[in-house]
Structure 1
Amino acid sequence: MFRRTFWFTAGAAAGVWATTKVNRKIQQLTPESLAAQAANRAVEAGHRLKDFALDVRAGMAQRESELGEALGLDAPPPADRELPEPRRRAALGPTPHKTTTTFSSRTISYNRNEDH
């Protein structure tokens, strides 16, 4: 009698365990759960990418300071050396004629440098 009770209880426990496990897996495979998992992974990837960018920036700043020290760029200029006079801008000639075409209410300019 105790054997039958033991095996009945063991079977019931295994059934409850299997049902719980299957229900959890089904919940993980719903579209909402999959979308939430994808969003969490995207956020984690964004954090890893941000950390990588910060590491690269820190490495660049360190290397720049090393190069500046090696080339002597951080040292102040000698006191006996004077700065050259500032350059004067050459007078520019008249601006070139702009070719434009008007279509209804829109004007099209053919000057390539106008938008830049």
Structure 2
Amino acid sequence: MFRRTFWFTSGVAAGVWATTKVNRKLKQLTPESLAAAAANKAVEAGHRLKDRAVGFALDVRANMAQREAELEDALGLHADPELPPARRHAAIENRNKPKSYVIDRTTHTHNRNEDH
């Protein structure tokens, strides 16, 4: 009698366990779940790529500063410690452009909602 009860209980437990496992796997294979998993992996890959790009940019800046210091030493261009550091100027836009590149916003409206 105890053997039958033991095996019956073991069979029920194994059936519940297997049913639960199969249902979880089926939920993981639904289109919504697969799309969410793919989106999560894409976001993670984007974060890894961003971190690598930031690290690369920092390495480039550090090496650029080191190379500038080497060139200043080689050319004898040592800055006076009492003076403020030299300013870095942004690129100046080309003021010699022909007038054909200038767009007058008052006469050229580009409304995408207009019927053409």
| TM-score normalised by L of structure 2 | 0.62
1:41 equivalent to 2:44? Answer: no
Q: Once superposed, what is the RMSD of the aligned Cα atoms?
A: 1.9
> Which protein has the bigger helix share?
2
Cα drift, residue 71 of structure 1:
1.3
Who is 2:79 aligned against?
76
Richer in strand (by share) = 1
Q: Supply the distance in 2 between the matched residues of 1:16 and 1:69 (Cα, whole angstroms).
A: 71
Q: Secondary structure at the match of 1:72?
A: helix
Write the mapping of 1:1-116 to structure 2, written as runs, cut at 5 A.
Answer: 1-72=1-72, 75-76=78-79
Stretch of structure 1 that moved more, 38-47 or 64-73: 64-73
Identical aligned pairs, as a percentage? 60
Structure with max Cα Rg: 1
Specify every segment of 5 or more residues in structure 1 that has no aligned partner in the other structure, as ranges: 78-94, 96-116
Kindly report structure 1 stretches of 4+ aligned residues shifted beyond 3 Å: none
CA distance in 1, matches of 2:45, 2:15: 39
- Work out which structure has the larger RCO, using CA pairs closer than 8 Å and 6 or more positions apart in sequence: 1
Deviation at 1:69, TM superposition (A): 1.4
